[in-house]
Amino acid sequence: MFAETKNKFLMPGEWEKHHATWLAWPNDDDYFGERIGNIEQSYLKIIKALHKDELVKVLVLDSKNEERIKKLMSEASIDLLKVIFFYAKYVDVWMRDYGPVFVKNGKENHGLNLIMMVTVGSSLNFYPTTMSFLN
């Protein structure tokens, strides 16, 4: 599909400079069961390490969960100014299976970024973005 276009879009490597890391906060008690508290503590450690150098964008179920998670983050000395919350209905924390894939135009960022949404059994759907958090 990309070969037919004039632009060549590439997915940057995980090690390349980027603006933020996206995470989905664990919420599935049926899956995590009694481990949910330990899993949340692991997420706090991940976010604490990441937020020193970049924004962390966290998917949460709703405002009630956001407030509870903010309290946990504050107690873990995480700077909430470096964390942005987004509300969505989800179960799985593996965003790679359902979340956006960010691509850029060519090896250098020429100002054109796309968010690709890939769903099982469908073709790629492209969403050109004007959202400032991508730049």
- Give one DSSP letter per residue of 38-98, joined into a string: HHHHHHHHHHHHHTTTSEEEEEESSHHHHHHHHHHHHHTT--GGGEEEEE-----S-GGGT
| pLDDT score at 48 | 97
| pLDDT score at 93 | 83
CATH architecture entry for 2-134: 5-stranded Propeller (3.75)
pLDDT in tens, the chain (135 residues): 444 555 677 777 888 888 888 999 998 767 788 888 899 999 999 999 999 999 999 999 999 999 999 999 999 999 999 999 999 888 778 777 677 777 777 655 555 565 655 554 444 444 333 333 333
